Every structure is written in structure tokens, then in C-alpha cells.
Structure 1
Amino acid sequence: MTKERLRTNPHQIVIVTGPSGAGRSTAINALEDLGFEAIDNLPLSLIPRLLDGPPLERSIALGVDVRNRDFTTKALIKLVDTLQKRTDAEVSLLYLNAREDVLIRRYSETRRPHPMAPNESLQEGMRRERELLVAIQSRSDAVVDTSDLSPHELRDEVTKLFASPGYSGLSVLLNSFSYKRGVPHGVDMVFDCRFLRNPHWEPELRGLTGTDKKVEDYVTADDRFHPFFEKIIDLSVLLLPAFHDEGKSYLTIGLGCTGGQHRSVAVAEMMGKALANKGWQVSIRHREMERRAKPGVGGT
């Protein structure tokens, strides 16, 4: 690896290349999880057109290898030079490599012919590919040897190189909801808040929501609230690093109550602040409040 971190500009164009079987797809997926727009195997001659029009709104990850229609060593190096002249975004060439025995094992597992030798031996295809790519490797901004890396470890290496400042590696969505309408699709963990005393039965609180201070104070005054809240924060802080190490990029935690307007909303808001203070990237969605806000949709 020739650079420890490649992310000085807000927008980046990362070109990922290397021999077949070195982990290009895994790296592209990792960049996509970091918020990059991922484009794989676009012909080299079409890539400069991505810069036509308004400035980039997102960073771009481009997968390029010998399968590209007009791929040559000269064409790829020229492309890098062209992009660097045409954009203020940081342009980086990431080269993934691996030992020949590892590439042979990985490629054999796919049972597909090598693109450089469709009717010949796998070794012959790899030899031609390495000869074609040697000049590109020497030109690359970062070289990662994936021989002894698991997919999770490769994702970590890509994250270290290209993640934005302050990126935690795991995005947490807190989703409050009403059990009357069911648990939201795709949640990873659910905490039931229905045992807490219900502001709905207080006339002055019924029309408010869990985002209001009066409702928060009412919920937190329940003797069972603080032990419950401390335990769900402790459990989350224990599990979030484990989910991150497993390679998970997004985690959704559901918080439910009867109507999805008071208790679950208040707990989600407080939980979001607590996790954000511990350095996690948190977003919050209140499903029933969103539903109530839509024209023609009533609440409970």
C-alpha cells in the first residue's frame, strides 16, 4: 500500500483494477457502502462523459479490468490523466493484487474461463494479464495485496483508504413504530416500549408526540425507564462493534409502542443522542408520524 489514506477532497473518483480474482468486486461493494456511486465495466472511452454537466454530487467508484471493451494499459493511464485534468475531485487508482497460487484457487472456485485465455490454461491467462497490468500497478496510488485478506478485512482496508472523515463504519437507523401496524420490514433488533406509562391517557399530552419535552419528561418519570434505557444502550454499545466487524454497513433498531406517537418516539430520540455521543452515525425515522403527516392519512 503506497498511501495510508486517500480522502483529502469531499468528492473522489476511485478506479479499481487488478488481476482477475484479486477482490475487485468486494472493493467496489465496499466503496458503494461508503456512499460512492459504483459503476463496473463501463468502456474506458465512455468514462470521461461522467464529468459532463454539473459538478459531481457523489464520489464515484469505477471498476476496470481486462474485460472492459477497449482496455489497454495506455488507455487506462491516459484515462487517469484525463480525469485529473477535468475535475477537482481527487482521482485515485487502486490496484488489488494477490499471489498466483491464491488467484488460481479463487478463479478455480468460479469454474469460469480466464478472460485472457478462454480456450487455454488458467495459468496462461494469468501470465498475459500480469504482463498487461505491470505498468498500471507501478502507476497506482494504492496497492493492496489481498492474498491473506478475508473479504471483511479487504473491506476494512478500503474503508481506511477512502472513508470520509468521521465515518464510523456502521450506519444506525432508529425506527419508531406502532405494533398495531406491525414491525417494520428489515429491522435487526426490536425493543418494546409498551410497558412504559402511556402519555396517550393524559389529555394534555395526547395531541403531542415523543419529540415534545413534556412527553419526554412524562416517559422518563416512569421508575422503569432509566434501568430499561441504560440496558438497551449498554446492549447496543456491546453489539454495534460486533456487527461492524462482521462487515455490516447498516443496522436498523426498531422501537415500538401501541400507537407509535409517544413512548417509542421519545425513546428513539433519546437513544439517538446517546449513541451519537458515543461516536456512532445515527439517523432516526418515526414511521407513524411520517404516515400521519401524509395528506389523507389519519393517526391514532
Structure 2
Amino acid sequence: MSFDKKSCCGTKYFWRCERKNDCNARMHSDIVTREIVRKLHPHNHDKPSPEELAFYEQDFSLLDPNYCHPVKSINRSYMQRKLSKASNVNPQIVQLCSQLPDPMEIDTRQFQQTNSLMLFGTIAAAAAASSGSSPPTIGQKRLSTNCVPIKMKSPRKKEEDPAESTITAEELRSVYDITKRIMKMMKPVTEIGVRWQGDQDALLIYLSHDNGAEDSVFFPVVVISKDTKSLMTAVEGFTGKRCEGKITLCLSPKVHILMHDALISNWTHGKLFLVNSNSPDFWRLTPVDAFGDILIQM
């Protein structure tokens, strides 16, 4: 285990497994007595081998397992490299390697002497491994005879046929006709299509009471002449009241236009209006479409 941190209360030390990235084992110890007070998460690996314990240069059989004991700090990566080399090392150079100092404890003043010993050990290992075979020439590159060079083709953009992206006149006409039909279907119905066979100066409109209801029932009303007086007479007959003020055209809740003859003269048959006669000064006619939405253009 390696030291992690001191607890917030200041009475415990927190420890964690040296294999921090692989093992989640944790441990808590008392700061004063060094006694282990808690163990968290068991180790997920085998116990250290005798070869690994030898790096700490301490007899662990004499130590109490319920207490924390300081040991020598060992770099695990360095230890693994040493163990790996020890399993494959030539017996002839074991004695020479034992004379080398620990890399973690190299003294810079003895650097030149260390280099000489390492060079001598390398020469001895090379001589023992060769055992009569001719050494390779220095600087000669080894070429594999089994490798076949692969030629990679650079990806090229597929050329598009210009004929595929061109729209013919027939396709364009078909798209135009379909779009025209869709626009016609989306256009709101602003009037009821009727054939008027009465007086040419008269006007047929449809009126409904503006009482805030979701559904409105419209009744046909005939205006004798396309002027303000005839329109007021027709609206009074529909509501059963007498208008003491004026009639306005409501284009929005905030915009009202006073009715006049030039405006009425351009109307066609079959228009839909909501009639609001609550105000004695101004009666409102609100033009709507077949969905009950207010129309701005008449």
C-alpha cells in the first residue's frame, strides 16, 4: 500500500494499493499507533512473489500484519523491468550485473566508472550470445524478404454525370403544377361560392353573431345596394336592433375602419362577417375565412 492522504479529522491516514490504476483496495490507519482500523475493497491481484518482496530488503515474516510499517520506496515499473530481464539474462553476466549500482541510487560522481562497467558487461554478453556466429556489420540494415510493397491508390472523387443533375422541362412543369395545386389548397376560403341571380346592384353576404363561441353559424343576408345605408339596414335586420352610431370594419383587435361606399362597392358575393353590436357608438363587422381567422385583405 502507498500513502494517499490525511483524513479531514486529522486522526487517520488513508492508504491505497500501489497498483492505483488496476486495483481499488483501500486502507485506513491510526496516525498515532499506526494500527489498521479499516480495510476497503479487497485486492484484485495475487500476493507479491518472493522475487518482488526481495526488492524491499526487509523480512516481512517478523512484522505484525495489523499495523502499518514503513518500507523502502520502489518504482514498480523499474521492478517489473528488472524481473523481466532476470528471467532471460545470460548466467555468465549475472555476476557482472550484480556489481552495478541500483539505477535509483546512482551517484553522479561515479557516473564514468558505472558506464565502464556497463560497457564491459554488454561486450561480455554479446560475446557469449554469438558463440561462433559472425557478428552483423555495423550500420547494415536488415531487410525482410517476405514484405511486398503495397501500392495505395489515392481516393478520387467520383465524377458526377451532368445529365443526372439536370431537370428536364417536363419534370419542371410537373413540379410547377403540383406546387400550384398545393398553394391553392393552402389558400384560405374567404367567401362562399354562390351564383347570384338577383338584382345586379345587390350583395349577398353571410353574418354570424360575434359572441366568442368556437363554432359560429352564418346566415345569408341580402344587401339591397352596395352602400353604407343599405348595409346598416341589412345588419339591423339581422341583429333585431337599431344602430345609433356607425358601422366599422374590424381588421384586428386594435384597427377599425369606418365603413364607406367605396369600400363596399368592391365586395363580391359570399363574404363571411362576425357582427358585434355591443357598443352603441360603433358596430363591428369582422371579416373571417372558413376557419374563423380574421382577414386583413378584403
Q: Rg: which structure is higher?
A: 2
Is the structural similarity TM-score above 0.5?
A: no
TM-score norm. by structure 2 comes to: 0.20
Instruction: Identify the structure with bigger relative contact order (alpha carbons < 8 Å, sequence gap 6+).
Output: 1
Which structure: greater helix fraction? 1
